[in-house]
Chains A and B, each alone.
Chain A
Amino acid sequence: GAGVSQSPRYKVTKRGQDVALRCDPISGHVSLYWYRQALGQGPEFLTYFNYEAQQDKSGLPNDRFSAERPEGSISTLTIQRTEQRDSAMYRCASSPSTATNEQFFGPGTRLTVL
Chain B
Amino acid sequence: GQSLEQPSEVTAVEGAIVQINCTYQTSGFYGLSWYQQHDGGAPTFLSYNALDGLEETGRFSSFLSRSDSYGYLLLQELQMKDSASYFCAVHNTDKLIFGTGTRLQVFP
Q: Which A residues are within 8 Å of any B CB, using their own CB?
A: 31, 33, 40-45, 48, 50, 55-56, 59, 91, 98, 101-108
Contacts and interface: CB of A to CB of B under 8 A. Distances in A.
Contacts, number: 52
A101 B100 contact: no
Contacts of B43: 43, 91, 105
B68 interface: no
Nearest to B46: A102
A105 to B, nearest CB: 4
Given A40-B101, A42-B98, A101 B42 contact: no
B101 A101 contact: no
Interface residues of B, number: 22
Contacts of B71: none
Contacts of B18: none
A97 to B, nearest CB: 10
B24 interface: no
Given A105-B43, A106-B42, A107-B42, A42 B94 contact: no
B56 to A, nearest CB: 16
A48 B45 CA distance: 18
Instruction: Report which residue of B44, B45, B93, B100 has the largest number of chain A beta carbons within 10 angstroms of its beta carbon.
Output: B45
Which among A41, A43, A48, A107 has the highest number of chain B CB atoms within 10 Å? Answer: A43
Closest 9 CB pairs of A and B: A42-B98, A105-B42, A101-B48, A102-B45, A98-B94, A42-B87, A45-B95, A105-B43, A43-B98
